[in-house]
Structure 1
Amino acid sequence: MDEKKYGLTVKIAVLTLAAMLYTTSMTTPALGEIAKAFPNVSPTVVKQISTIPSLMMIIFSLVPGQLERFISKKSVIYLALILSFMGILPAFFGGMTLILVSRILFGAGHGMLFPYAASMIAYLFEGEERNALMGYKTSVGAVSGIVFQMLGGILAMYSWRYAFLGFLLIIPSCLMIMFMLPEPEKKSNTAEKVVSKGKVSINTYIIAVLNMLLNVLTFSFMTNVSIVMVSGKVGNAAQAGFVLTLFTVGSFIASMMYGRIISKIFKKFTIVLAVGLYGLSFLLLVSVNTYSMFCVAGIIYGLGFGTFNPEIVIKVIKSSPAPAAISTGILFALQGLGQFLSPFVLTAITKMLRISSVKAAWNVSAVCVLGAAIILCLVLAFGKSEKPPFTEAK
């Protein structure tokens, strides 16, 4: 029996899930105004407004795969959206305590929603169409991040509380998902029966752990670019922001090309291309000290991210007979952990190696990431190609 084909409205609804992942960026521009409104609150506590959702993601991205055993996938999504909508509470009342509590609730919903941005594509689409949508998911995320951050900044100009009103966008998104997104059909064949048992293969954990280690290295671009540019007199904060914008542009371009062009040309070496682009960007960053080259490095890093993100998701979904929500939940939980640990791990390594420059973390990342790309290339080129021990449910 042929797989059911879904039209444009379903694709829009699926990609709406990807857009909702970036609502977390709406409150970032308001942090300065919040700090002014609460002068007696430690800056470290204020920063937790941004970091709490990332920490909650590590925990709650593992929840959907378990809840699917008892309720439908769309029901889990509704629960995630309701929790995310709790992020709006500080717009109307309360102080710092309520802000932090609302961020915990928002973070729980955000974490639960994260696996579905990828897994619903895997549940509803197959083959080339699925690959293309995985790329579009990253593109939508890149654009949404810019739009939500700009919206948050504009609202925060009037009042820090207004920045939280951006969560009203969750309501139309929820309606779109309610009326346009179908519940994936349950199949009765043997493959689906195996999948429903949710057995996660060792390959899934290997991919997730390797992705975590890579994020420890690559996330240093996001955390260090502004500090390096300002302290090294390469540019000011606004110019650092432009470099990050160019990263988003590069990510958008690569992810739009991923399904139809990049993955077709490079095939199994697509992951090598992505990691190689990451490594090249770090090599440029440690080798040059001009604003124009930082812009080039930002674009190259974005191209790597836009290629790597859909590729790693597809690989982890194919790595296991478990439901996609479980596999991607493990992937994103460990990814969030890697990003959280990144500054601590790299600081420890640079101290151990006695590297004290402002680019110390990037020196470590450049060597390790380029080395990883070379090793990946050799393994894929000369390793034995083995058929996976399971097949995807059709």
Structure 2
Amino acid sequence: MSEKKYGLTVKVAVLTLAAMLYTTSMTTPALGEIAKAFPNVSATEVKQISTIPSLMMIIFSLVPGQLERFMSKKAVIYLSFILMFIGILPAFFGGMTLILFTRVLFGAGHGMLFPYAASMIAYLFEGEERDALMGYKTSVGAVSGIIFQVVGGILAVYSWRYAFLGFLLMIPSYLMVMFMLPEPEKKSTQAETSVSKGKATVNTYIIALLNMILNIMTFSFMTNVSIVMVSDKIGNAAQAGFVLTLFTVGSFIASMMYGRIITKIFKKFTIVFGVGFLGLSFLLLVNVNTYSLFCVAGVIYGLGFGTFNPEIVLKVIKSSSAPAAISTGILFALQGFGQFLSPFALTAVTRMLGITGPKAAWNVAAVGVLGIAIILCVVLAFTKTEERPFAEKR
């Protein structure tokens, strides 16, 4: 029996989940104003407003797969939205204690919602349509990140409390999910039992660990661009922001082309293309010292990210018979852990190797990421199956 086809309204509803993942950046522009409003609070504590949701993601992205055992998928999504929406409370009252408490709850909801941005696409769509939507998910995320940060910045100009009012944008998304997003149909009894009891395989963890290792290295692009450009007199903070904007542009272009063009050209080597471009951007960054070439590197990094991100999600979903929320939960939990570890791990490696300077971490990333791309290329060249090179046959 053919699978049910869903129209534009369902696609918009499922993509709005990806947009909501970037509400975490809404309050980032207000951190400076919050620090001024609470002069007795340390800078480290203020920064926790941004870091707490990332830490919560490590834990709570694993929760949906377990909740699905006795709750519907949409019920888990509703719970995620409710926890995230609590983050609006500091707009009306309270001090730093309330802000941090609501960020913990927001982070819990954010972590629970994270797997569904990908898994609902896998639950509702198949084939080329699924692959294209997975790419569009990355595009929507890239654009949403910019919009929410701009909105947060504009609101913070008037008052740091107003930045939290940006969470009102979650209401239209919640309504779209409620009225436009269908609950994925349950399979036949035998198939349903098989899937519900499905567990993540060794390949699921291999893919998730690979993604974690790559995030340890590649996340240094985001954290180090401004530091390197200012310290090496390549550009100022505004120009560093433009390089990051070009990364978003590159990511948008690649993710829009992912399902319809890139996967058709590179087939099972699509992941090599993505990782290779990420490595190439670091190789360029290590060897150039001009603003224009940093801009080029930003675009190349974006092209790699926009290809790698949807590809690794599809790889992990196909790696086992477990519900998509479980496999993607493992992927994103380890991804968040890798991003959290990134500065500590790269500092330890550069000290061990005796590499110094603002670009020290990028030297490690260039070699490491390109090395992984070469290894993946060799492994895939000797892998017969094209659709699921990492997955165990069931």
User: 1:223/1:327 Cα in 2 relative to 1: closer, same or farther (>3 Å)?
Assistant: same
Report if aligned partners of 2:203, 2:391 keep a CA contact under 8 Å in 1: no
What amino acid does structure 2 have at the position aligned with 1:267?
K
Kindly indicate whether residue 153 of structure 2 is the aligned counterpart of residue 153 of structure 1: yes
What TM-score, normalized by structure 2, do the two folds share?
A: 0.98
* 1:34-70 deviation line (CA, Å, top 9, x unaligned): 0110111000000000000000000000000000000
Kindly indicate whether residue 192 of structure 2 is the aligned counterpart of residue 192 of structure 1: yes
Kindly indicate whether residue 104 of structure 2 is the aligned counterpart of residue 104 of structure 1: yes
**1:8-157 matched pairs, under 5 angstroms:** 8-157=8-157
Offset at 1:390? 4.6
User: 1:237/1:58 Cα in 2 relative to 1: closer, same or farther (>3 Å)?
Assistant: same
Unpaired runs of 5+ residues, structure 1, are none
Task: Find the aligned partners of 1:361 and 1:389 in 2 and give their Cα distance.
Answer: 35
What amino acid does structure 1 have at the position aligned with 2:270?
T
Offset at 1:384? 4.8
Task: Find the aligned partners of 1:307 and 1:209 in 2 and give their Cα distance.
Answer: 18
**1:307-386 matched pairs, under 5 angstroms:** 307-385=307-385
Task: Find the aligned partners of 2:384 and 2:188 in 1 and give their Cα distance.
Answer: 34
* 1:85-112 deviation line (CA, Å, top 9, x unaligned): 0110100000000000010000000000
Report if aligned partners of 2:86, 2:102 keep a CA contact under 8 Å in 1: yes
What TM-score, normalized by structure 1, do the two folds share?
A: 0.98
Offset at 1:171? 1.1
What amino acid does structure 1 have at the position aligned with 2:370?
L
| Aligned position for 1:268 | 268
Task: Find the aligned partners of 1:390 and 1:11 in 2 and give their Cα distance.
Answer: 30
Offset at 1:290? 0.3
Unpaired runs of 5+ residues, structure 2, are none
* 1:89-141 deviation line (CA, Å, top 9, x unaligned): 10000000000001000000000000000000000000000000000000000
RMSD: 1.1
Task: Find the aligned partners of 1:274 and 1:190 in 2 and give their Cα distance.
Answer: 38
Task: Find the aligned partners of 1:313 and 1:293 in 2 and give their Cα distance.
Answer: 30
Report if aligned partners of 1:52, 1:104 keep a CA contact under 8 Å in 2: yes
What amino acid does structure 2 have at the position aligned with 1:277?
F
**1:145-184 matched pairs, under 5 angstroms:** 145-184=145-184
Report if aligned partners of 1:124, 1:184 keep a CA contact under 8 Å in 2: yes
What amino acid does structure 2 have at the position aligned with 1:38?
F
| Aligned position for 1:255 | 255
Q: Deviation above 3 Å: which 4+ runs of structure 1?
A: 189-192, 383-391
What amino acid does structure 2 have at the position aligned with 1:245?
T
Q: Secondary structure at the match of 2:130?
A: helix
Report if aligned partners of 1:198, 1:326 keep a CA contact under 8 Å in 2: no
Offset at 1:199? 1.2
Task: Find the aligned partners of 1:159 and 1:256 in 2 and give their Cα distance.
Answer: 36
What amino acid does structure 2 have at the position aligned with 1:15?
L
| Aligned position for 2:297 | 297
Task: Find the aligned partners of 1:138 and 1:31 in 2 and give their Cα distance.
Answer: 26
User: 1:53/1:387 Cα in 2 relative to 1: closer, same or farther (>3 Å)?
Assistant: closer
Offset at 1:198? 3.1
Task: Find the aligned partners of 2:369 and 2:182 in 1 and give their Cα distance.
Answer: 40
Task: Find the aligned partners of 1:61 and 1:382 in 2 and give their Cα distance.
Answer: 33
Q: Secondary structure at the match of 2:174?
A: helix
Offset at 1:357? 1.1
User: 1:387/1:147 Cα in 2 relative to 1: closer, same or farther (>3 Å)?
Assistant: closer
* 1:277-297 deviation line (CA, Å, top 9, x unaligned): 000000000000000000000
| Aligned position for 1:241 | 241
Kindly indicate whether residue 206 of structure 2 is the aligned counterpart of residue 206 of structure 1: yes
| Aligned position for 2:215 | 215
Task: Find the aligned partners of 1:53 and 1:267 in 2 and give their Cα distance.
Answer: 35
Identity %: 84
Report if aligned partners of 1:53, 1:110 keep a CA contact under 8 Å in 2: yes
Task: Find the aligned partners of 1:245 and 1:120 in 2 and give their Cα distance.
Answer: 28
What amino acid does structure 2 have at the position aligned with 1:57?
M
Q: Secondary structure at the match of 2:26?
A: helix
Task: Find the aligned partners of 2:231 and 2:17 in 1 and give their Cα distance.
Answer: 38
Task: Find the aligned partners of 1:291 and 1:22 in 2 and give their Cα distance.
Answer: 28
